[in-house]
Structure 1
């Protein structure tokens, strides 16, 4: 008798999981802003003009890029504080002048076809892409980089004065105080907080006076968090999506923007089956947590 009850219970759980998975896949997909992570970095070396041009060609809505300060106080586009990973040189960005940085090859590490790509300056990116695509600019270590926040505000303001649409620019950072400072300096440019750990409603509310969006590491996202953020009128972006099946998960959570290395592609029958399997795994894990 007990064996029959256990079998019935297991069958009910399995049936419930199947129904949940099916209902999940038939939910409508929420539209989103497509944001190219460090440019279209699956196709070209990250944070280079080649990656940014590829993002435009692929139809992304925004380019996400990183800025640091050079020794001679110029805003340069590079993710790491050290040039070793993405160039043929060695040394720290803030200990090198623009002239020294421009001598480095920032492309051949990715593929020989990109040999000769240079580390861009932010003003060069604004000149070439400011009218073509939105730009999501991340300040790297602004709390230790002398005058980064002020320099960024001045540079962006000069381009806006010359006709660049301020709505085409967004600025983000993990450093809340620097984002608050940036907003005070440039209130006409949208600013946002990057999150790599959970944030409670109190802190979300306290940031709202100077931040209009939050960019969240995707494993932290849930319907509950997004509902709380939307109550406070935040936009929510997810980072960084690296697998095709994750796009639909983010869309069903109803994020406003997806930061990814490549664009969302049309699902094949095989990818749909993989999506179903992976989503089923998630549901099973949650059922026994």
Structure 2
């Protein structure tokens, strides 16, 4: 029998009383994009059709204040266009293509998948305000986890919301948790306010996710989600270590691992 998962945010459906109680969460990182169509509706439909309920994505804000789903600050890698995405209007962005697919707005994504939960990496300061506005407009507080490498963006979004959303700390919070979590129980206040620590397994040669790190995070009531894990043996090893979630570019491999472990699908009827 699986041990109950820690954490208390409604976003985390694997906590006691949740429909995924006792299961680790599977996150599709930017959707499933074997042909390079990351962060497009096609990629997210592919992940959802595989059984994913948790979809990780990134957001930027257009020049005229529309929140769009896109990872890079610049357009070159994904669209072949020049310049920054923030310098284009929403209408101009709609004309661009990622592997032949249009770039969606976050609002489109939220409405397209009413049963999905979104792990949102806020890439610039204006996006914090836009994300909060969309969450408020659609009452999506329990469907969104707000994350950012810069903690001030997450804080900006939180301050604009009428009720709390799940969050993960920025790079400084993760660094502090990593250092502390190897040695002692993490404090319930401060770090304990976060739903999850979303971390890489290692940073260079420095290991982040260890047995003691996971144990100390759980003692503080915080889940541990690991990104980005693309090989089945690594997924099994981390899940055996007790992590609460895995993010992967290889949604097909992660789905197979979860199915093998009896945790699939996570978007079946009623879930």
What range is the shorter-chain TM-score in? 0.7 to 0.9
Q: Is the 8 A contact 1:43 1:54 kept in 2?
A: no
Give the alignment's TM-score, normalised by structure 2.
0.74
Number of residue pairs the alignment of both structures matches:
221
Alignment of 1:75-86 (within 5 A): 75-86=67-78
Structure 1 residue 46 displacement after superposition: 0.6
1:89 correspondence with 2:81: yes
Q: Is the 8 A contact 1:76 1:119 kept in 2?
A: yes
SS of 1:85's equivalent? helix
Q: CA–CA distance in 2 between the matches of 1:213 and 1:73? A: 29
Q: Deviations over 1:226-252 (max 9, x none)?
A: 111112111110000111111101101
Which residue of structure 2 aligns with residue 251 of structure 1? Answer: 239
Q: CA–CA distance in 1 between the matches of 2:119 and 2:185? A: 23
- Paired residue for 2:109, among 122, 125, 128? 125
Structure 1 residue 77 displacement after superposition: 0.6
Structure 1 residue 167 displacement after superposition: 2.2
Q: CA–CA distance in 1 between the matches of 2:239 and 2:120? A: 23
Alignment of 1:1-289 (within 5 A): 31-42=23-34, 45-107=37-99, 115=100, 117-129=101-113, 131-140=114-123, 142=124, 145=125, 147-160=126-139, 164=140, 166-186=141-161, 187-195=163-171, 197=175, 198-201=178-181, 205=187, 207-208=190-191, 210-219=193-202, 220-263=208-251, 264=254, 266=256
Q: CA–CA distance in 1 between the matches of 2:89 and 2:65? A: 8
Structure 1 residue 36 displacement after superposition: 0.2
Moved more, 200-209 or 64-73: 200-209
Q: CA–CA distance in 2 between the matches of 1:73 and 1:134? A: 23
- Give RMSD over aligned pairs: 2.3
Q: CA–CA distance in 2 between the matches of 1:63 and 1:176? A: 21
Structure 1 residue 43 displacement after superposition: 5.8
Q: Is the 8 A contact 2:185 2:217 kept in 1?
A: no
Higher-helix-fraction structure: 1
Q: Is the 8 A contact 1:43 1:51 kept in 2?
A: no
Give the alignment's TM-score, normalised by structure 1.
0.70
SS of 1:40's equivalent? coil
Q: Is the 8 A contact 2:185 2:219 kept in 1?
A: no
Q: Is the 8 A contact 1:44 1:50 kept in 2?
A: no
Which residue of structure 1 aligns with residue 17 of structure 2? Answer: none
Q: Is the 8 A contact 2:53 2:115 kept in 1?
A: no
> Which is bigger in relative contact order (C-alpha 8 A, separation at least 6)?
2
Q: CA–CA distance in 1 between the matches of 2:186 and 2:128? A: 22
